[in-house]
Amino acid sequence: MKEFKHFINGQFVASSSSFENRCPADNKLIGTVYEAGKAEVDTAVKAANAAMKGPWGKLSLNARVALLYKVADRINERFEEFVDAEAQDTGKPKSLARHVDVPRGAANFKIFADVIKNVPTEAFRFEGPDGVQATNIAHRTPKGVIAVISPWNLPLLLTTWKVGPALACGNAVIVKPSEETPASTTLLAEVMNECGVPPGVFNVVHGFGPASTGELLTSHPGIDAITFTGETATGEAIMKAASVGLRDISLECGGKNSALVFADCDLDKAVAGTMRSVFLNCGQVCLATERVYVERPIFDEFVSKLAEAANKIKVGPPDDTEASMGSLISQEHQQKVLGYYELAVEEGATVVLGGGVPDMPDDINSGAWIEPTIWTGLADGARVVNEEIFGPCCHIRPFDNEDEVIALANDTAYGLGASVWTENSSRAIRVSEQLEVGMVWVNCWFLRDLRTPFGGAKQSGIGREGGVHSLEFYTELKNICIQL
């Protein structure tokens, strides 16, 4: 049995309260996770503040960058251990963890090491009317101690997407991974020690959110800024906590993303792309498509081709090399998704594919399995069309013209991402510009250049991550004005 301890000031420590960690693919016990209380959170915050005042605070940029490269290399050396950790915690296919989660986890350290080395700040020469002259130089300093609150869907990828830039900018971090997925962050703590990251710079406290570790951390006065990825309702709670003491926040929250498929698209590419955007990671991707709008002349063909392709998805446990889809994160989440599957029928959907739980072999039958599901025929006001489900499912609706589909796509409280499928490049730009989202993919989905802005509009978040945009959050920009 494994033990997932906190990592505070360079040491692994247990605490008095603990909970179970189970693999959602077979419900087997992986180990015990300790829950950090006030004492552990306090110690971690003190350690991080001390690290900022210690050698870490004075480390040269070159030394910091070299350390981050070392961390990335060490993740790659321990690649298969990270794959195992991620697959056991989430139930996702190891092939997916090998292809997406772990390589991106390592890349997130290198990209921000490169960004911080290469991004200039501004300088202005000032000449006043009375002849006074000055030079203004902008200078970046670390923000301080950053609380990193992560979700369970892409644990290593999303945690390092914050830890990478935070450390590159010279901050200290306290990470609270999701209670569902403690393993890869605990392994990352080992890597930090192996690479010589000074004690207190990278800390991990395990536990739950409300009335537990997450709340203790985000309301702690020793935290200078909070970066969060998770549900919009949690983002609101964190925003309230951050308002005390005016701490800065970065929020990456939920979505109800659309795909707009025009009759002039390359149909096979649109079907293949929508297959990924609906079903990757069992639909548990913040950018996943749950609303598909297809121009009427190709509606029937698109629906039948997507259903035909989705029908071939093999659902299976992490080690099954033929499986392209794993389990959901937990039995609790399975019940939530199944609740929406039932609601879709109550709301009048035509179930094109799926809608239930697949038959699985006896030894894994108690896993959080779910069928890939496609609906048509729901009204625009249906809850299934408006609420984030976070499962492998989508509703497909026909449309007749550009203005109509833009209005439909924008008719949501969320604003994270959208994909547009068309071979007409003028239309691609015209439509993309009108979509109320943070990211539009044209003839692709989740194609990520890590230098580009990532984040959501409306209730999908506040702020942008990626490239220089992450530096804006993780540094304080100071102007130094020198009168000449």
CA distance 215 to 260: 39
CA distance 126 to 303: 62
Residue 215 binds ligand NAD, judged by CB under 6 A: yes
Residue 229 binds ligand NAD, judged by CB under 6 A: yes
CB of 48 or CB of 286, closer to ligand NAD: 286
Phi, psi of 333 (to 5 degrees): -70, -35
CB of 109 or CB of 454, closer to ligand NAD: 454
CA distance 278 to 426: 26
Residue 179 binds ligand NAD, judged by CB under 6 A: yes
Q: Is 50 helix (H, G, I), strand (E, B) or coil?
A: helix
Residue 185 binds ligand NAD, judged by CB under 6 A: no
Judge whether 397 and 408 are in contact, CB under 8 Å: yes
**Residues 6 or more apart in contact with residue 46 via CB below 8 angstroms:** 222
Q: How far is the CB of 269 from ligand NAD (least distance, A)?
A: 25
CB of 149 or CB of 428, closer to ligand NAD: 149
From residue 461 to residue 480, what is the string marking binding to ligand NAD with x (rule CB under 6 A)? Answer: x-------------------
CB of 48 or CB of 67, closer to ligand NAD: 48
Among 152, 293, 341, 441, binds ligand NAD (CB under 6 A): 152
CB of 22 or CB of 74, closer to ligand NAD: 22
Residue 255 binds ligand NAD, judged by CB under 6 A: yes
Judge whether 323 and 314 are in contact, CB under 8 Å: yes
Among 100, 113, 146, 149, binds ligand NAD (CB under 6 A): 149
Residue 153 binds ligand NAD, judged by CB under 6 A: yes
| Residue from 175, 388, 396 nearest 286 by CA | 388
CA distance 165 to 74: 17
Among 252, 290, 295, 347, binds ligand NAD (CB under 6 A): 252
Tell me the two tokens of residue 86.
């991620």
DSSP for residue 273: H
Tell me the two tokens of residue 147.
């609380």
Which residue is associated with the tokens 């510009």?
Answer: 433
Rounded to 5°, the CA angle 38-44-46 comes to 100
State how beta strands 29-35 and 2-4 pair. Answer: parallel
CB of 229 or CB of 274, closer to ligand NAD: 229
Residue 265 binds ligand NAD, judged by CB under 6 A: no
Task: Give, in order, the Cα–Cα distances in Å from 162 to each of 59, 218, 283.
Answer: 20, 16, 22
Judge whether 399 and 294 are in contact, CB under 8 Å: yes
From residue 274 to residue 313, what is the string marking binding to ligand NAD with x (rule CB under 6 A)? Answer: ------------x---------------------------
DSSP for residue 315: B
| Gyration radius from the chain CA atoms | 23
Q: How far is the CB of 483 from ligand NAD (least distance, A)?
A: 44
Q: Which of 40, 252, 290, 388 is catalytic?
A: 252
Residue 81 binds ligand NAD, judged by CB under 6 A: no
Which residue is associated with the tokens 């399995």?
Answer: 369
Residue 387 binds ligand NAD, judged by CB under 6 A: no
From residue 98 to residue 137, what is the string marking binding to ligand NAD with x (rule CB under 6 A)? Answer: ----------------------------------------
| Residue from 320, 313, 311 nearest 364 by CA | 320
CB of 7 or CB of 299, closer to ligand NAD: 7
Give the count of beta carbons closer than 10 Å to the beta carbon of residue 7: 26
* Helix (H), strand (E) at residue 108: helix 102-118
Among 84, 231, 264, 387, binds ligand NAD (CB under 6 A): 231
From residue 412 to residue 451, what is the string marking binding to ligand NAD with x (rule CB under 6 A)? Answer: ----x-----------------------------------
Q: How far is the CB of 460 from ligand NAD (least distance, A)?
A: 6
CB of 316 or CB of 438, closer to ligand NAD: 438
252 is catalytic: yes
CB of 242 or CB of 298, closer to ligand NAD: 242
* Beta bridge partners of residue 134, listed in sequence order: 126, 483
Residue 199 binds ligand NAD, judged by CB under 6 A: no
Q: Which of 253, 282, 286, 394 is catalytic?
A: 286
Count CA atoms closer than 13 A to 437's CA, side-chain side.
28
Tell me the two tokens of residue 390.
């976070």
Among 56, 302, 341, 390, binds ligand NAD (CB under 6 A): 390
Residue 218 binds ligand NAD, judged by CB under 6 A: yes
| Amino acid, res. 449 | D
What residues act catalytically?
252, 286
Q: Footprint of ligand NAD on this chain (CB under 6 A)?
A: 149-153, 158, 176, 178-179, 208-210, 214-215, 218, 229-231, 234, 237-238, 252-255, 286, 388, 390, 416, 456, 460-461
